[in-house]
Amino acid sequence: MKSIDDILAGITAGQPRAIGRAITLVENQQEGSEAVLSHLDSLVCNYLVLGITGPPGAGKSTLTSRLIEQYRADGERVGVIAIDPSSPLSGGAILGDRIRMMRHAKDPDVVIRSMATRGRLGGLCSAAGSAVRIMAASGCSKIIIETVGVGQSEMDIIGLADLTLLALAPGLGDDIQAMKAGLLEVVDLLVVNKNDLRGAENLAMDLEGVARQREDKYGLPTRVCRTIASEGQGIEQLVALIAELESLHSESGEMNRRRQVSRNREVVDWGLDMIREKLEPLAALHKHEASPQKTAVQLLQKLWLDL
Amino acid sequence: MSNHPAYTKWADNQLAKSLQRFPERRARFIHHGNTEVPRLAVPADIDQNYLDQLGFPGQYPYTRGVQPTMYRGRLWTMRQYAGFSTAAESNKRYRYLLDHGTTGLSVAFDLPTQIGYDSDHDMALGEVGKVGVAIDTLADMETLFSKIPLGKVSTSMTINSPAMVLLAMYVVVAEKQGVAMADIKGTIQNDVLKEYVARGTYIFPPRPSLRLITDIFQWCGSNTPAFNTISISGYHIREAGSTAVQEVGLTLANAITYVQTALDAGLELDVFARRLAFFFNASSDLFEEVAKFRAARRMWARIMKERFGATNPSSWMLRFHTQTAGNTLTAQQVDNNIVRVTLQALSAVLGGTQSLHTNSRDEALSLPTEESVRTALRTQQVIAHESGVANTVDPLAGSYFVEQLTDRIELEATDLIGRIEDGGGVVACIEDGFIQRQIENSAYDYQREIEEQERIIVGVNDFVVDEESKPPLLRVAPEVEDEQVARLTTLKHERDNADVAASLDRLADKARTDTNLMPLVIACVRAYASLGEICDVLRGEFGEYRDRQ
Amino acid sequence: MTTKHRILIGKPGLDGHDRGAKVIARALRDAGYEVVYTGIRRSPAEIAAAAIQEDVAAVGLSSLSGAHLRLFPAVVEELRHGGAADIAVLGGGVIPEDDVAVLLAAGIKAVFTPGTSLEEVVQAFAAVCDEQ
């Protein structure tokens, strides 16, 4: 599987090997990644990107696994991008989200890819955005991005999703309060998972109160859904809610607007990465006589001529 | 000896009663030269702190042991965990062990059996008969205990998620031998909570698993009163890499969960509590291990009396089995393992264990050979009969070091239990991975210490030699798997399959009700329904737990 | 841009003792690798499928139950079957010395017996990753 043509043909045929290779190429920005990506856009058809975020212990991976199950039962092909943080010390990462999704390992119509944040801001978005398009081109009609929604890079990732779901569970402590504040502004759906645990009722009521105060553009409050993902309870209702929001957003044009925004940001991210790559060696060579700001302007002007 | 009124009271009551019921092994215990070994050394000035923290053996809070005379009355049970290959092969090994002086059997099942798969299941590939004996139906169990009188030996079975099925088989085999149910003695491990965090042989999700356990407590309470219904195990938590403190804290947190679940189901505390047994690891840090056993005993007594309000002293007693630490055995210079095992076994005896398994020198390489199993058993016999440590009770009590260690372990383990309860209890802490992370971090730190030579493992990271001779290893022949599958296939043809189907249907009907499932499982077993068939019915009703973090 | 090496650590068969697998996963992370962990009780087919989707450079297997002679080569076979013969397979656990040669002959790139240091394990993974 060396040539770009092989990879492209493999992606359209849904071959796991080709899909995996292609994502590696774009993730590492290796030679050929641009060629793969530029061909993909013509292949992509209809798909929905669902972002799932929430604190550790909320049951995101189990929820994802149940959603996969439900969508597969409806005959859809599903992609999953599971994101875990890289260690700031070593740059390595343990990608453990797959554990809860292994029951789908032998299903050729479930494509799962674990990705590490690699300490990048924009770069992760561009890699994950490209992975979404590769999965879509391979025929995935539902693509789930799962991430711990705490850091800025994870929040940015959520911007890639057409719909975003925040999973919470009772008993996870105070950090949820802080998280709720920022995340509530961007999520479309609130899920109270582990609804059988003590404190679930309070959490759900609390969230429903918050949700009522925040009407969306259709004048509807943010939906709150209760699930016990470990036992599969509430998943059908959740899938129905997602479908309802999906059709609302596509009819109103909100879906297109969001995709445009996210696409714009991807463009900027790519651009910044490209500039950084050129700028870093220049800065290293440059004799720093002027102020950093002035130097930057000089170097950019020089770059401008080169580009 | 002491003139303190508390001592006199103990000597006149607990001790006198115990001596009457269970005379000591010898009329006198002596050193060479005819000096008498005291039964129990106590401080010259017994104060309130001594009485609160240590007390006397056989008396709350049992820090010094659960019986007044400990090993002077009866030595611990020397119980060697064994089993491999087929039921017929294992039966031979058991009879060999009984001939050589073991006093209790301990059955190791292979992994498919422990996970409720028949030997012909896809996932059983390569695993049949490997780490224990393969049991598919009652027929295998009949072979396993052939010519072993179940009314006389006590049998421990390391079985957890499908414990109800194996216990049912044992009960039916005993019945066929004509043994009264009240005379069946032994233990099933039946501790499923630690499977989710350490050992990995779970089948069902935690909640239905806890229900099966409670059903067993209840059924055994009225049918097999001499059978221990659970062995709440820190052993595997320690093997997974925990510290001594975590071993105690996590084990007792699990125990609290079992007790609470049984109480919630309406069971009588003082009926089931005295059939709870424990199982700990004896690792290499000798004094910390002794302190650990003593601390665990004191903690459990306090938990049962003060927290749950148990009134029967047998409910307060933490009785435990010990196994030496498998993870400390090295593949290098295997004979060194005999020394490690000796020290670890000594800590268990100094800590007051009720029964003991000593690992064999070659277990880092494979299952033990007959010869190395014998050496392991001899190690216990040397400690029991030559070292003199069994001639007095709790000899390390009063050592400043050991008492401070005991207090520290109690304090830190109690703190860990509190953190788990703050996190919503054991089940919630398993689901969000808190417990697994605790263990993992300790395991990683330990390995790093070895890498950086902060911890010396003789023959591994220091004192290394080039070894040429390889010890003989026991191997389970690959044909064992095919033979076992063939036996199962034949049996499935020969049995009354209408009877099997009917008994399985009745089990399925009742699985979601609150009917006690034990009699229904016994009926399935009697009809020669296989372990896998019975577990599949329950999987259908309860669901499967698959994705441990 | 740097090329990160990705490794998958898997536990084939029914053995639930994952202390070693998890310690190795962490050591590899601390050496800068991205490590996908499958969890316990996986079939060779599940492990190979995950390795291909994750496009890892190498797969590390751990088994302590004595089933390695059947399970490790089965993973190699499944990878070959999925068109991924180039993904290196390494394995460790309670493996008697006599079995090492058998496993190497079956296409396992390196075999770790009890007592192998983390450093040796990490170096072996580094060697196969650098080949790619």
Phi, psi of B324, rounded to the nearest 5 degrees: -70, 160
A158 or A135: whose pLDDT is higher? A135
Cβ count near C57 (within 10 Å): 23
B450-475 average pLDDT score: 88
Query: Tell me: the pLDDT tens digits for B174-216?
Result: 999 999 999 999 999 999 999 999 999 999 999 899 999 999 9
DSSP string, B341-362: HHHHHHHHHHTT-SEEE---TT
Same domain? A198 vs A283: no
Among A57, A100, A231, whose Cβ lies nearest the Cβ of B547? A100
Residue A261 counted as domain residue: no
Residue C49 has pLDDT above 60, yes or no: yes
A28-55 average pLDDT score: 84
Is the omega angle on the peptide bond into residue B43 within 30 degrees of 0, that is, cis? no
A281 or A287: whose pLDDT is higher? A281
Residue A257 counted as domain residue: no
B41-49 average pLDDT score: 95
CA distance A4 to B190: 56
Residue A262 counted as domain residue: no
Same domain? A194 vs A50: yes
CA distance A82 to A53: 10
Same domain? A51 vs A35: no
Residues 257-286 of B with CB under 8 A from C: none
Residue A122 has pLDDT above 60, yes or no: no
Same domain? A123 vs A27: no
Same domain? A1 vs A31: yes
Same domain? A273 vs A124: no
B128-154 average pLDDT score: 95
A260 or A153: whose pLDDT is higher? A260
Confidence of residue A149 (pLDDT cuts 50, 70, 90): low
- The single residue listed with the structure tokens 């068969």 is C13
> Nearest C-alpha of chain A: how many angstroms from B79?
37
pLDDT reported for residue A121? 53
Phi, psi of B263, rounded to the nearest 5 degrees: -65, -40
Query: Tell me: the pLDDT tens digits for B210-230?
Result: 999 999 999 999 999 999 999
ipTM: 0.93
Residue A45 has pLDDT above 80, yes or no: no
User: Token digits for B235?
Assistant: 């052993």
* Beta carbons of B136 and B531 less than 8 angstroms apart: yes
> Nearest C-alpha of chain B: how many angstroms from C132?
28
Confidence of residue C1 (pLDDT cuts 50, 70, 90): very low
Same domain? A71 vs A99: yes
User: Token digits for B217?
Assistant: 């407590």
C122-127 average pLDDT score: 96
Phi, psi of A212, rounded to the nearest 5 degrees: -65, -30
Query: Domains in chain A: how many in total?
Result: 3
Cβ count near A294 (within 10 Å): 10
Q: Which residues on chain A are in Cβ contact (under 8 Å) with C42?
A: 102, 105
Confidence of residue A150 (pLDDT cuts 50, 70, 90): low
Question: Is the CB of B543 less than 8 angstroms away from the CB of A231?
Answer: yes
Question: Is the CB of A105 less than 8 angstroms away from the CB of C42?
Answer: yes
pLDDT reported for residue A285? 82
* Beta carbons of B207 and A231 less than 8 angstroms apart: no
C12-26 average pLDDT score: 94
CA distance B318 to B311: 15
How far, in Å, are A251, B183, B272 from residue B214 at the CA level? 54, 22, 10
Q: Which residues on chain C are in Cβ contact (under 8 Å) with A92?
A: 28-35
CA distance B292 to B282: 9
DSSP string, B257-273: HHHHHHHHTT--HHHHG
- Is the pTM higher than 0.80? The answer reads yes
User: Token digits for A249?
Assistant: 């957003």
pLDDT reported for residue B375? 96
Q: What domains can be seen in chain B, in order of their start residue?
A: 70-451 (3.20.20.240)
C-alpha count within 13 angstroms, C-beta hemisphere, residue B495: 23
Residue B11 has pLDDT above 50, yes or no: yes
Confidence of residue A176 (pLDDT cuts 50, 70, 90): low
Q: Minimum mean pLDDT among A283-297, B411-425, B514-528: which range?
A: A283-297
Query: Tell me: the pLDDT tens digits for A56-88?
Result: 778 888 899 999 999 999 999 999 999 988 888
B407-429 average pLDDT score: 94
User: Token digits for B497?
Assistant: 């399959």
Range of the domain at A8: 1-41
Q: Does A272 touch chain C (CB under 8 A)?
A: no
**Residue-range domain boundaries for chain C:** 6-131
* Beta carbons of B141 and B156 less than 8 angstroms apart: no
Task: Count contacts between A and C (CB, < 8 Å).
Answer: 99
> Nearest C-alpha of chain A: how many angstroms from C97?
31
DSSP element (H, E) containing A225 = strand A223-226
Q: Considering only CA atoms, which of C111, C115, C116 is closest in space to residue C98?
A: C111
Same domain? A174 vs A78: yes
Confidence of residue B55 (pLDDT cuts 50, 70, 90): very high
User: Token digits for A267?
Assistant: 């463009």
DSSP element (H, E) containing A232 = none
pLDDT reported for residue B126? 87
Same domain? A26 vs A57: no
Mutate to test the interface with C, among B328, B447, B452 (most CBs of C within 10 A): B447
Question: Is the CB of B365 less than 8 angstroms away from the CB of C40?
Answer: no
Phi, psi of B547, rounded to the nearest 5 degrees: -115, 70
Residue B371 has pLDDT above 60, yes or no: yes
Residue A175 has pLDDT above 60, yes or no: no
* Beta carbons of B294 and B406 less than 8 angstroms apart: yes
DSSP element (H, E) containing B104 = strand B104-107
Same domain? A95 vs A232: yes
* Beta carbons of B278 and B232 less than 8 angstroms apart: yes
Phi, psi of A48, rounded to the nearest 5 degrees: -120, 130
Residue B280 has pLDDT above 70, yes or no: yes
pLDDT reported for residue C9? 97
Same domain? A112 vs A239: yes
Residue A263 counted as domain residue: no
Q: Look up the CATH number of domain C6-131.
A: 3.40.50.280
Among B440, B461, B476, whose Cβ lies nearest the Cβ of C22? B440
pLDDT reported for residue A46? 85
pLDDT reported for residue B473? 77
Confidence of residue B547 (pLDDT cuts 50, 70, 90): low
Residue A194 has pLDDT above 80, yes or no: yes
Question: Is the CB of B111 less than 8 angstroms away from the CB of C71?
Answer: no
pLDDT reported for residue A151? 60
Q: Which amino acid is at A235?
A: I
pLDDT reported for residue A44? 67
User: Token digits for B320?
Assistant: 């435990």
Mean pLDDT, chain B, rounded, equals: 94
Residue A260 counted as domain residue: no
Same domain? A233 vs A106: yes
* Beta carbons of B205 and B545 less than 8 angstroms apart: yes
Residue A29 has pLDDT above 90, yes or no: no
pLDDT reported for residue A181? 61
B112-119 average pLDDT score: 97
Query: Tell me: the pLDDT tens digits for B281-309?
Result: 999 999 999 999 999 999 999 999 999 99
Q: Which amino acid is at B497?
A: N
User: Token digits for A106?
Assistant: 């032998």
Q: Considering only CA atoms, which of A210, A192, A207, A202 is closest in space to residue A63?
A: A192
pLDDT reported for residue B510? 96
Residue A27 counted as domain residue: yes
In sequence order, what are the residues at sequence separation of 6 or more whose Cβ sits closer than 8 angstroms to the Cβ of residue B430?
A: B193, B196, B197, B206, B436
Task: Count contacts between B and C (CB, < 8 Å).
Answer: 103
Residue A202 has pLDDT above 90, yes or no: no
Confidence of residue A117 (pLDDT cuts 50, 70, 90): confident
pLDDT reported for residue B248? 98
